[in-house]
A = this chain, B = another copy of it.
Amino acid sequence: MSDLRNQMFYATPEQWEAAVGACREHFGERFQTAAGICRQHANTLTWIASEPPQAVLFATSTDDVRRAVTIAAEYRVPVIAFGAGTSLEGHVNAPAGGISIDLSRMNQVLEVNEQDLDCVVEAGVTRGQLNRHLRDTGLFFPVDPGAEEATLGGMAATRASGTCAVRYGTMRENVLNLTAVMADGSVIKTAQRARKSSAGYDLTHLLVGSEGTLGIITELTLRLYGQPESVRAAVAPFTTLKGACDATMEAIQLGLGLARIELLDALQIRAINQHARLGLQETPTLFLEFHGSEMATAEQVSIFEEIARSNGATAFEAAAHEDDRRRLWRARHEALWACRAAWPGKLTLITDVCVPISRLAECVAETEADIEANSLIAPIVGHVGDGNFHVLAMFDPDEPDALARVKRFADRLARRAIAMGGTCTGEHGVGQGKMDLIEAEHGAAIAAMQAVKRALDPLMILNPGKIVRM
């Protein structure tokens, strides 16, 4: 039982029973308290221990969420929004108990406005589902955090990004508006469908990345893009990590229209070679993708090859066929599973930082030195066009100090990134895992965050124990 639950700030047992009664009456079978279902709605993918909710509501409409939050406010019951449960920092844990609101049944694509290059979806639509839905329109949604089954509501709530952000931006740039249920049960729409607006405070961006602590996102309007006429991929192995980072920086400075530029270190390449039988050279390697007209991508590939070779690339292979391209990116997306397969029995602490690109090579080098000095097994993969990289630190759950050691390593990494003008998380979010670190990163601005939280959720029922300490 966590500190939060001990505070007695939330529902008494009598209040909890009353809330359960009200939920049963309103939602019937959609409201569940079975332990197995509750356990499925706690965090499972990371080092952070699971803290299951006491009940789960399978919401099917914004009005369901509105009613649930209204009941929760009446009885001071925490509510935790749940999408696909793929988050990495304990976002869906219930340290103060309460109700997990599972939005996965809100999975309708409500509108596709082809002329406006946007669509309106319910929060539980997954990115894979949306792109299958769009296939025949010639449009696509580019934000790609890896997991096909990540929900768009969850991606917005954690300000997700991934491999295509270098060209198309993150959820921050690609959500035009949101419908959200606020802590008082009011339903708001944060903006219209216009591409830009100066009409008042930017509530869209306030909710994007707020991890369910300021409101529960139930619908989103998203930007779409035309499928590029031409897509080319390439692989460039380098003699050094620094060479790969420098090539990246040079390409970004040139404004080369890279759609993806991913760095994998030698250890990560070895793991995916084993997992996906790719037969790549086991040195630091960039995976690249270029989108545009036939002419534009051909030009980009040839310019990038020149940049790569002048920074020590030992080869430059363009993927000739779509099959090769898909195999390459599947391998990249399965990096985590490749690591788990390569080191069976070990668990992974996955962390991410993002630094100004001028500091990328230095930050990666210092991190490699730290890994070496501490005898860790910790492959590096990164969306390096944005200065963002992940470390997958493997540890043996049976070894007493192992988790503590990788946590200390991750903490040093985050503080190194902050000291270089970067952030302790480029895309995974704060959740429970990085609350100390954002205090280090934001200093006095934390007070403004706390004031906003208090203003919009005075009873602190929305996903308590995440992002900012109250």
A129 within 8 A of B: no
**Nearest B residue to A388, CB-CB:** B196
| B-contacting 9-mer, from A37-45, A318-326, A435-443 | A435-443
C-alpha spacing A382/B229, complex, angstroms? 29
Contact B356 A448 (CB under 8 A): no
Taking a contact as CB atoms closer than 8 A, the residue among B158, B191, B444 that contacts A198 in the complex is B158
Report whether B196 and A113 are in contact in the complex, using a CB–CB cutoff of 8 Å.
no
Taking A113-B358, A203-B449, A455-B452 as contacts, is the C-beta distance between A425 and B467 under 8 angstroms? Answer: no
Determine if A454 is an interface residue (Cβ-Cβ < 8 Å). yes
Say whether, besides A113-B358, A115-B358, A447-B186, A201 and B196 are in contact (CB < 8 Å): no
**Copies of this subunit:** 2
> A214 at the A/B interface (Cβ < 8 Å)?
yes
- A351 to chain B: closest CB distance in Å? 12
Asked if A422 contacts B201 (CB within 8 A), the reply is: no
A193, A210, A299 interface centre (most CB from chain B within 10 Å): A193
Q: How far is the CA of A453 from the CA of B255 in the complex (A)?
A: 39
Q: Would you call the interface of chain A mostly helix, strand, loop, or mixed?
A: loop
Taken together as a complex, chains A and B put the C-alpha atoms of A397 and B460 apart, in Å, by: 54
A115 touches B196 (CB 8 A): no
Instruction: Name A416-468 residues within 8 Å CB distance of B.
Output: 417-418, 421-430, 434, 437-438, 441-449, 451-456, 467-468
Interface contacts beyond A158-B198, A188-B442, A201-B214: sample of 20 additional A-B pairs, CB < 8 Å, sorted by A: A118-B356, A161-B196, A173-B173, A188-B445, A189-B444, A192-B422, A193-B356, A195-B357, A195-B386, A198-B423, A198-B426, A198-B429, A199-B423, A200-B209, A200-B468, A201-B452, A202-B202, A206-B452, A293-B299, A451-B455
